[in-house]
Chains A and B, each alone.
Chain A
Amino acid sequence: DVKVTQSSRYLVKRTGEKVFLECVQDMDHENMFWYRQDPGLGLRLIYFSYDVKMKEKGDIPEGYSVSREKKERFSLILESASTNQTSMYLCASNRGLLAGVPDTQYFGPGTRLTVL
């Protein structure tokens, strides 16, 4: 079974802190994704990566950066956390396109981040 793990289930940080959220997948997937999920807004894509050291902005990249130094690991970085970044953060991975159809995305359990 595909397993996607996230470093923390719950995290509390202070405004201005630099925050690292880590995601690891064990299925050699090419693609990895970071979403944030807020009530009433659904899942919004922050960044995704389609290969080591390759990344693309999603719909809401402002205030975030990412790092993918190894294929299995995708990190989301909040350079200077703000209260409006309090949210549930979800990581996912997949194999990309298979015969023109997006592969199933496999999600981690999520990290609930609170910024005080």
Chain B
Amino acid sequence: SQTIHQWPATLVQPVGSPLSLECTVEGTSNPNLYWYRQAAGRGLQLLFYSVGIGQISSEVPQNLSASRPQDRQFILSSKKLLLSDSGFYLCAWEELKSLSGNTIYFGEGSWLTVV
């Protein structure tokens, strides 16, 4: 069966410090991968998605970047964190069933507090 893991689960970082959140998927190949952020207001915002190695699409301009160095690895990064980067970050993968529609499954999430 497929599983998705992301880490670290929780981190507190000072303003201006770098960030690296990692996500890996097991049990599937060539998945679509996503990074979402959930700010304090509960809404979920799509940040990045990737349909393959090295292919990254950004949904909103921001202080963050994403990379996909391997088929099942998706990394969210920042060179210098801002206070506004605080939030709950969720990685997700997409189960591709083109005839009946696709389902997106989420990882456990990472709580980021920028201080």
Are chains A and B native binding partners rather than an unrelated pairing?
no
Residues of B within 8 A of A (CB): none
Residues of A within 8 A of B (CB): none
